[in-house]
Amino acid sequence: MPAVFGIGCAIEAGKADLAAYDIVVLGTPVWAGAMVPAVRTYIKRNRKNLKSVALFCTCGQTDRVRALSQMAKLAGLEPVATLSVPAADVKSGECDETVKSFTSRIQG
């Protein structure tokens, strides 16, 4: 389980110049409480170009999520906003207000 052990994976290089953005929103599904390997690799590869971040994840149980703290630590930045949404709420649309609150914190 690469997610549990903090192992990245091979991904293609992104085309966006992240240094051109004031804030970058990063998200991940959660596997065994952790961010997925592709997101780990992406943050490691791009962290020097991140000025500010907002972080979100979808998960089974929000009280068991380490992914957001892992992402912040790896990026080396305190996020301006975070959001952890249970997958069931995403499917049912019950997270709409929570997502609006998250986006309003990003927009300042």
Q: Over the stretch 27-59, which tens digit does the pLDDT of each residue have?
A: 999 988 889 999 999 999 999 999 999 999 988
Residue 63: pLDDT band (50, 70, 90) is low
Task: Please indicate whether residue 61 or residue 47 has the higher confidence score (pLDDT).
Answer: 47
Which run of H or of E encompasses 81? Answer: strand 81-86
Question: Which residue segments constitute the domains of the chain, with CATH numbers given?
Answer: 2-9+19-107 (3.40.50.360)
For the whole model, what pTM was predicted?
0.86
Cα 107 from chain centroid (whole Å): 17
What is residue 71's predicted lDDT score, i.e. its pLDDT?
A: 96
Confidence at residue 40, expressed as pLDDT on a 0 to 100 scale: 95
d(C-alpha 39, C-alpha 45), whole Å:
10
